[in-house]
A = this chain, B = another copy of it.
Amino acid sequence: MYRAPVETIAFTLNKVAGLDAALEAGTFGDLDRDVVEAILAEAGRFAGEELAPLAKVGDGEGAKLEGAVVTMPAGWRDLYRRWAHSGWNALTGPIHYGGQGLPTMLSVAVLEMWNSASMAFGVGPTLTMGAIEALDKHATAALKHTYLAKLVSGEWMATMNLTEPQAGSDLNALRTRAERGPDGTYRIFGQKIFITYGEHDLTDNIVHMVLARLPDAPAGTRGISLFLVPKFLLNKDGSPGRRNDVFCAGIERKLGIHASPTCTMVYGDGFEGAEPGAVGWLVGEENKGLACMFTMMNNARLAVGIQGVAVAEAAFQKALAYANERRQGRASSYAGDGMAPIVHHPDVQRNLLTMKALTQAARSICYACAHAIDMAHHTKRDKARYWRERADLLTPLAKAFSTDVGVEVTSLGVQVHGGMGFIEETGAAALYRDARIAPIYEGTNGIQAIDLVLRKLDLSEGEHVHYYIGELAAIIAEVQESNHPGFGHTGDLMDDALDVLTEVTGHLQRLLLDGKTDEVLAGATPYLRLFSLAAGGAYLAKSALAGNDADRIALCRFYAENLLSEVVALRGRAIDGAASLLDAGKALASD
């Protein structure tokens, strides 16, 4: 069973991602370490004792659809209500509407815990939090007044409605339409697919955030508007009243996160003789919906990255426990009687250390991204811009690298369990199934890589990425200066990795300037991984320097001397691989 690694999470927040320094500088007002520690400890308790025990029933039963009604697995409704009642949904919400206004850093830390305990649970509130932020930033005072308090408390949940059958990564193809009503409201018509928590029985109302086109909207993404469409229209007193014309027409049978209902939502099909059309309210300006949605999407991308970290952590814990329990064969490092626990076999150690080190690298990148978001909110002018760019740069790394790590680590977790790993009862397989969605949703990892190379490398005229690499290099210089023998070749290897990162970054920037977009796109995925491995290594080094304990230093050295060598392979792919890829790729198209 999952136990929240509260100490590791706190250490990573404080010493690696910069929470300590921000607290000392008073960046977050009167928030202090005691409060932070109390929150993390209590979240850890809730995740381990209340949430984790319901994960298996969630996976086994899944969400069920009958008619247009979705029933959540046994115990989940009560679980969600206990969770919201404890204030967890309100952690980062605006204070004015009952939120606690705490930093994103805390939010991602507790989000990691919910998702380690159950990814199917963790994904739900994420969408509500995104909607809260979009409404807080873009909605009218009246809409805010009507909806925000209920969403902040978690009494109601929210959804994001982007995808349509023909429009996934490419929102240009969006067809859902909105018509202006006489009273300032709108009527929405269309079908949305893959809507996470689109329908369920956890809350008495559900608030859908829906992208749609007005009749006179320009083509493409400049003609998309954002609407708020509640499941139940509200009575004068704000309580849920008449049913709105939005219904769940199907839920998907999925590989994993079975308890998370993935819904097809139909807007405006008409019912019970009512005039067809789902009643919606505009959020932000007409045709500016995509900008509003991006507010939600960026944070959702970080939240999905955290899911990768979370599922990897859960897989590591499970595999480590099994490897300490299961005995097979002899091992030189085991002095006891009979068969050795398999944790003593070097090949098993390689799997476990790889899992642990990659998880910690991904966690560090995600927390650093959260730190940048917080700093952007809490600083002004140039500094705010600097931190906003940092958050923009780190978001694709946080999302794609961490979720790839989630898949790799859960796969290794199955492997450490041997035959038992393939048996569903063990739970390792469920993590492997759950993990697979995270590289896909909120923008596939391929899209993240494209975002990184096309939109993030030219921040501050191409300088920001080099500022960041410089900061990583300063950490490695400290490793070199420490002369601590426990680091082995860490300093040199990480230095080399950053040199490669600098080289490939410059190479891609030049290709961009030369308009060689296809070559850049061909190298995008290996570059994102290269960047993340180098950055993750620097963060492991920062952790080892700050903790100065043998275990952290040994893990950092393992990362440098075993995992970081992949950087050289990725350099080859990112720089020299494009020509052969584009050439061989021609044979794939059947048109």
Judged by a CB distance under 8 angstroms, whether A8 is at the interface is no
Per the 8 Å Cβ criterion, residues 174-212 of A in contact with B are: 193-194
Q: Once the chains bind, are A591 and B518 in contact (CB under 8 Å)?
A: no
Judged by a CB distance under 8 angstroms, whether A474 is at the interface is no
Q: Once the chains bind, are B415 and A439 in contact (CB under 8 Å)?
A: yes
Judged by a CB distance under 8 angstroms, whether A422 is at the interface is yes
Q: Once the chains bind, are B344 and A423 in contact (CB under 8 Å)?
A: no
Judged by a CB distance under 8 angstroms, whether A488 is at the interface is yes
The smallest C-beta distance from A488 to any residue of chain B, in angstroms, reads: 6
Judged by a CB distance under 8 angstroms, whether A345 is at the interface is yes
Centre residue among A168, A555, A571 by max chain B CB count within 10 A = A168
Q: Once the chains bind, are A440 and B421 in contact (CB under 8 Å)?
A: yes
Per the 8 Å Cβ criterion, residues 212-264 of A in contact with B are: 252-256
Q: Once the chains bind, are A561 and B589 in contact (CB under 8 Å)?
A: no
Given A194-B419, A440-B419, the answer on whether A424 and B336 have CB atoms closer than 8 Å is: no
Judged by a CB distance under 8 angstroms, whether A562 is at the interface is yes
The size bracket of the interface on A is 35 or more
Q: How far is the CA of A475 from the CA of B587 in the complex (A)?
A: 25
Contacts of A562 in B (CB 8 A): 572-573, 577, 580-581
CB < 8 Å neighbour of A346 from B352, B421, B521, B571:
B521
The smallest C-beta distance from A193 to any residue of chain B, in angstroms, reads: 8
Q: Once the chains bind, are A565 and B572 in contact (CB under 8 Å)?
A: yes
Contacts of A446 in B (CB 8 A): 345, 347-348, 351, 415
Per the 8 Å Cβ criterion, residues 509-563 of A in contact with B are: 517-518, 521-522, 524-525, 550-551, 554-555, 557-558, 560-562
Q: How far is the CA of A279 from the CA of B367 in the complex (A)?
A: 63
Among A37-45, A280-288, A302-310, A326-334, the one that faces the other chain is A326-334
Given A320-B588, A422-B256, the answer on whether A347 and B525 have CB atoms closer than 8 Å is: yes
Judged by a CB distance under 8 angstroms, whether A137 is at the interface is no
The smallest C-beta distance from A383 to any residue of chain B, in angstroms, reads: 34
Q: Once the chains bind, are B580 and A255 in contact (CB under 8 Å)?
A: no
Q: How far is the CA of A324 from the CA of B586 in the complex (A)?
A: 12
Q: Once the chains bind, are A422 and B521 in contact (CB under 8 Å)?
A: no
Contacts of A194 in B (CB 8 A): 419
Judged by a CB distance under 8 angstroms, whether A499 is at the interface is no
The smallest C-beta distance from A24 to any residue of chain B, in angstroms, reads: 31
Judged by a CB distance under 8 angstroms, whether A67 is at the interface is no
Contacts of A255 in B (CB 8 A): 414, 422-424, 429, 432-433
Q: How far is the CA of A425 from the CA of B250 in the complex (A)?
A: 13
Contacts of A437 in B (CB 8 A): 422
Judged by a CB distance under 8 angstroms, whether A566 is at the interface is yes
The smallest C-beta distance from A500 to any residue of chain B, in angstroms, reads: 12
Judged by a CB distance under 8 angstroms, whether A153 is at the interface is no
Q: Once the chains bind, are A324 and B584 in contact (CB under 8 Å)?
A: no
CB < 8 Å neighbour of A353 from B253, B419, B584:
B584
Per the 8 Å Cβ criterion, residues 465-480 of A in contact with B are: none
Convert A435-476 into 0s and 1s, putting 1 for each residue whose CB lies closer than 8 angstroms to a CB of B. 011011100111001100000000000000000000000000
Judged by a CB distance under 8 angstroms, whether A54 is at the interface is no
Centre residue among A327, A415, A422 by max chain B CB count within 10 A = A422
Q: How far is the CA of A450 from the CA of B425 in the complex (A)?
A: 29
Q: Once the chains bind, are B418 and A349 in contact (CB under 8 Å)?
A: no
Per the 8 Å Cβ criterion, residues 387-444 of A in contact with B are: 407, 411, 414-415, 418-419, 421-425, 429, 432-433, 436-437, 439-441, 444
Q: How far is the CA of A242 from the CA of B586 in the complex (A)?
A: 63
Q: Once the chains bind, are B347 and A589 in contact (CB under 8 Å)?
A: no
Given A407-B411, A581-B349, A588-B353, the answer on whether A163 and B253 have CB atoms closer than 8 Å is: no
Judged by a CB distance under 8 angstroms, whether A68 is at the interface is no
Judged by a CB distance under 8 angstroms, whether A498 is at the interface is no
CB < 8 Å neighbour of A324 from B349, B444, B589:
B589
Q: How far is the CA of A193 from the CA of B562 in the complex (A)?
A: 36
Q: Once the chains bind, are B432 and A254 in contact (CB under 8 Å)?
A: no
Given A415-B440, A440-B418, A555-B584, the answer on whether A339 and B424 have CB atoms closer than 8 Å is: no
The smallest C-beta distance from A499 to any residue of chain B, in angstroms, reads: 15
Q: Once the chains bind, are A584 and B346 in contact (CB under 8 Å)?
A: no
Judged by a CB distance under 8 angstroms, whether A315 is at the interface is no
Q: Once the chains bind, are A436 and B429 in contact (CB under 8 Å)?
A: yes
Q: How far is the CA of A414 from the CA of B435 in the complex (A)?
A: 12
Q: Give me 7 A-to-B residue pairs in the complex whose CB atoms sit less than 8 angstroms apart, sorted by A's number.
A: A163-B419, A166-B327, A255-B422, A323-B588, A334-B591, A349-B582, A555-B587
Minimum-distance CB pairs A-B, first 7: A565-B572, A349-B585, A554-B584, A255-B429, A565-B569, A562-B577, A558-B584
Taking A253-B423, A565-B573 as given, write out 11 further A-B residue pairs in contact, using a Cβ cutoff of 8 Å, ordered by the A residue number: A320-B588, A332-B518, A333-B586, A346-B578, A347-B450, A350-B522, A350-B525, A350-B585, A432-B436, A550-B587, A569-B569
